[in-house]
Structure 1
Amino acid sequence: MMASEALRIGAVGAGRMGRGIAVAFALAGHAVVLIDVKPRDAEAAGRLAAEAMHEIGQDFAFLKSVGAMDDRAVAAALDRVSFAGREAAPAAIAACDLLFEGVPETVDAKRLCFAFVGEHARDDAIIASTTSTIDADTLAPLVKGPQRFLNAHWLNPAYLMPLVEVSPSADTAPEVLARLREILTAIGKVPVTCRTSPGYIVPRIQALAMNEAARMAEEGVASPEDIDTAIRVGFGLRFAVLGLLEFIDWGGGDILHHASAFLSEAVDAGRFAAPAIIGENMAQARRGLRDGAGFYDYDGVDVGAYRSGRLADFVALLRQRDLMPKFADSGER
């Protein structure tokens, strides 16, 4: 199965994540079936199907409203999405090349789902959980054929956010990981791989940042409005261009070391102590760009061109957000 082929995608669980995944794959030209494996009476199943398809239609309508789609494209994408309730689920599952589980975040709910999916899925179908909390090693034993299972954590809204955090279990076959990354890349997503660690990458960093913002509001450091403005036009803009580790190298790991020492003493050692790797990098003269090495190796890199490229990206972002500095004798206003 090649990523360039037309695939049959199953989103098992017709909630918000399943609907977002359905939109993402339908936009890329793949047939998608929303699969509800929960036993329901006909009225409840019909109501869920209507609600799910209505929300998916609204997502396509939004994309049309911002000029990303026209009427023909919307109609074609909608035609690629279908719904299967419990009775139709076995045949729908059996037809899928790739299945994403998106049922509630409990091991019991996922155990029931994977047991049902395992009865009907083809042996060569990839099965991925979209869990944001349960590690792949915990879930893999619940899946028939754990070598074809892994976690794929999408960020909401799934059809817009490029990132998908892919986390294989100890049993995941390397070719399954490679194939899922290829499929995701082919529909315009940016997959990253992380080991089975609580919180993946983004949620783990995000939880720290959100808690700290809430603490600052609680302590009266600044108003919620000013905290969020600082995030939108400071923190967020900067890290849309430079990754966090890249930014450490950009400024120098010693700056983080000293800032962490001050904040540890002045605010909270538990929250602000720098990890050992920062001190180790300093001791090894790996402070970043100016040493030619840090978290990244800059040997052979034209540092001037690299800096100019990143700053050009930053200027483009500032212009797009109408946040460029005001220059007295230029066209920037």
Structure 2
Amino acid sequence: MTTAIKTVAVCGAGGTMGAGIAIVAARAGYRTISFDRTDDALSRSRKQTEGFVAKSVERGKMSPEARDAMLGLMSSTTEIGELSECDLVIEAVFEDLTVKRQLMRDLEEACKEDAIIASNTSTLSITEIASGSKRPEQIVGMHFCLPAQLMKLVEMSPGLLTSDATLKSAWEWVVASGQTPVKTQDKPGFILNALLVPFNNDAIRAVEAGVAEAVDIDRAIKAGLGYKMGPLELIDLIGLDTQVRLCEAFYPVTLDARASAPPLLRRMVAAGLLGRKSGRGFYSYDGNAMFGA
């Protein structure tokens, strides 16, 4: 555990990504506060977290003592003022620049002056998110991979005004939490999504063109390239609506046609086929247990 950071908050913790980041923080021994706007979202997240760690104990990946210690470090709130003593705040709300900027302003009012505020954005510019901030030097990009509680990569992206001290402290926290940081420039999609968003869209277009069924495309990718999860399984996990938002954030600044949302993707979202969270996407699901549980 780093000495500078002792208490961590995750905003948007009612979502799959936020819940996973909260697990990462608490599992590493940090007091962790999960913040979201509704009690229902936090309740669902807590239930999924408890299911995940119960399965981890059952599989021998976590001891009962470690599970109890981790859960004991976790709390939740719908009151942003309760984040006032946090040393690091990680926002994991959906990809909307206006929403993220407003949250940054709210956090500046709620958090102590030396708090580091990190954005889990996957495509948006950290510099633009920090635009209008009173302390842009303390805002840094910290993009976890989904599911955060299983995937080790964290893309660390300083904005134009992010201080070296902020990046250093955030980087050290990522390492202390058992994750693997890589530094990227503040460019759309960073490393992962610059490659992944067009690739996932290619898989959707292959389904749309009748090249193969979703299950066979995923099976081919996993068997041929050694991926643990196929692209269509991954889209179902992150949410088809999230894939649309990624396209809408990424395409206008790159003008890469492969990054534009495929018509099939938009039709499925319009029909409410959002993936795991709605029970049906490219696959059908019974329940919405946290991935890995």
Return the TM-score normalized by structure 1.
0.63
Match of 2:31 in 1: 31
Q: Amino acid of the residue matched to residue 9 of structure 2?
A: G
Match of 1:169 in 2: 159
How many angstroms does 1:65 deviate by?
A: 2.5
Match of 1:10 in 2: 9
How many angstroms does 1:207 deviate by?
A: 1.9
- With over 3 angstroms needed to count, the CA separation of the structure-2 counterparts of 1:72 and 1:147, relative to structure 1, is same
How many angstroms does 1:219 deviate by?
A: 4.1
Give the Cα separation in 1 of the matches to 2:23 and 2:222.
27
RMSD: 2.3
Give the Cα separation in 2 of the matches to 1:52 and 1:216.
34
Match of 1:318 in 2: none
Larger Rg: 1
- Report if aligned partners of 1:27, 1:77 keep a CA contact under 8 Å in 2: yes
Return the TM-score normalized by structure 2.
0.71
Give the Cα separation in 2 of the matches to 1:95 and 1:121.
7
- With over 3 angstroms needed to count, the CA separation of the structure-2 counterparts of 1:228 and 1:55, relative to structure 1, is closer
Give the Cα separation in 2 of the matches to 1:111 and 1:223.
40
Q: Amino acid of the residue matched to residue 82 of structure 1?
A: S
Residue 40 of structure 2 corresponds to residue 47 of structure 1: yes
Identity value in percent: 33
- Report if aligned partners of 1:15, 1:102 keep a CA contact under 8 Å in 2: no
How many angstroms does 1:9 deviate by?
A: 0.2
Higher relative contact order (CA 8 A, sep 6+): 2
How many angstroms does 1:62 deviate by?
A: 2.4
Matches within 5 A, 1:204-223: 204-223=194-213
How many angstroms does 1:79 deviate by?
A: 0.5
How many angstroms does 1:237 deviate by?
A: 5.4
How many angstroms does 1:215 deviate by?
A: 3.5
Give the Cα separation in 2 of the matches to 1:144 and 1:186.
28
Residue 119 of structure 2 corresponds to residue 126 of structure 1: no
How many angstroms does 1:71 deviate by?
A: 1.9
- With over 3 angstroms needed to count, the CA separation of the structure-2 counterparts of 1:207 and 1:112, relative to structure 1, is closer
Name segments (4+ residues, structure 1) moved above 6 Å: none
Matches within 5 A, 1:127-276: 127-236=117-226
1:284-303 deviation per Cα after TM superposition (whole angstroms, max 9, x unaligned): xxxxxxxxxxxxxxxxxxxx
Give the Cα separation in 2 of the matches to 1:21 and 1:32.
10
How many angstroms does 1:34 deviate by?
A: 0.8
Give the SS at the match of 1:229. Answer: helix
1:153-206 deviation per Cα after TM superposition (whole angstroms, max 9, x unaligned): 111111111001111100001121122111101111011111111112111211
- Report if aligned partners of 1:6, 1:29 keep a CA contact under 8 Å in 2: no
- With over 3 angstroms needed to count, the CA separation of the structure-2 counterparts of 1:5 and 1:144, relative to structure 1, is closer
Give the Cα separation in 1 of the matches to 2:204 and 2:28.
38
**Unpaired segments ≥5 residues, structure 2:** 229-256, 259-293
Q: Amino acid of the residue matched to residue 189 of structure 1?
A: Q
